Amino acid sequence: MANMIHYEEDIFLLKDMLKTLRRGCSINIDPSIFLEYTINQLLFINKALKELYSTISETSHIKSPEQIKNLLRVSASLISLLEDFNNEKIKFSEYTASYTNDFKSIVKEHQSESARLKELLMSLSEEDDNEELVSEEEFMFLFHNNEEI
């Protein structure tokens, strides 16, 4: 039996984890205690987002525009945090300098996935627009029935 994926909860937790990392790395924390944790958290969030990208792409019945938008927001938060590390805009950046290339690679992956999800979101929007249109036959039927009343 397939696992049930709770997109809203998963996305909420990832978003909260990113906020906590950003706040924690913006203060003077001890790298001997927090460097490994920080890197592991970033790698975990990266992996979790990739898994969510994959399941949303593969699953046809779970393409809620709101879920995709929330996923895009979390992806943007991860990208922003990694870029801030790379651009030394966060106090803890001096300790993550050896991960700059890894962070750049992760950023590129998420930018690519985000572009793909934006296309998916646009196609879902177009499908919604097309579903709301009344066909010529329906239009004629509606007018024909109104005239008989």
Q: Is residue 143 part of a domain?
A: yes
Which residue matches tokens 């937790």? 13
Tokens of 113: 């996935």
| Rg from Cα positions in the chain | 22
Q: What is the pLDDT of residues 23-42, one digit of tens each?
A: 999 999 999 999 999 999 99
Q: Is residue 42 part of a domain?
A: yes
Domain with 100, as residue range(s), is 7-148
Q: Is residue 1 part of a domain?
A: no
pLDDT on residue 9: 92
Q: Is residue 67 part of a domain?
A: yes
Q: Is residue 2 part of a domain?
A: no
Q: Is residue 122 part of a domain?
A: yes
The most confident of the ranges 2-11, 78-87, 121-130 is 78-87
21 pLDDT more than 70: yes
Q: What is the pLDDT of residues 67-110, one digit of tens each?
A: 889 999 999 999 999 999 999 999 999 999 999 999 999 999 99
Q: Is residue 90 part of a domain?
A: yes
Nearest to 120 by CA among 80, 75, 79: 75
Q: What is the 3-state secondary structure (H, E, C) of the chain?
A: CCCCCCHHHHHHHHHHHHHHHHHHHCCCCCHHHHHHHHHHHHHHHHHHHHHHHHHHHHCHHHCCHHHHHHHHHHHHHHHHHHHHHHCCCCCCHHHHHHHHHHHHHHHHHHHHHHHHHHHHHHHHHHHHHHHHCCCHHHHHHHHHHHHHC
Q: Is residue 64 part of a domain?
A: yes
Give the count of domains, the chain. 1
31 and 93 Cβ atoms separated by less than 8 Å? no
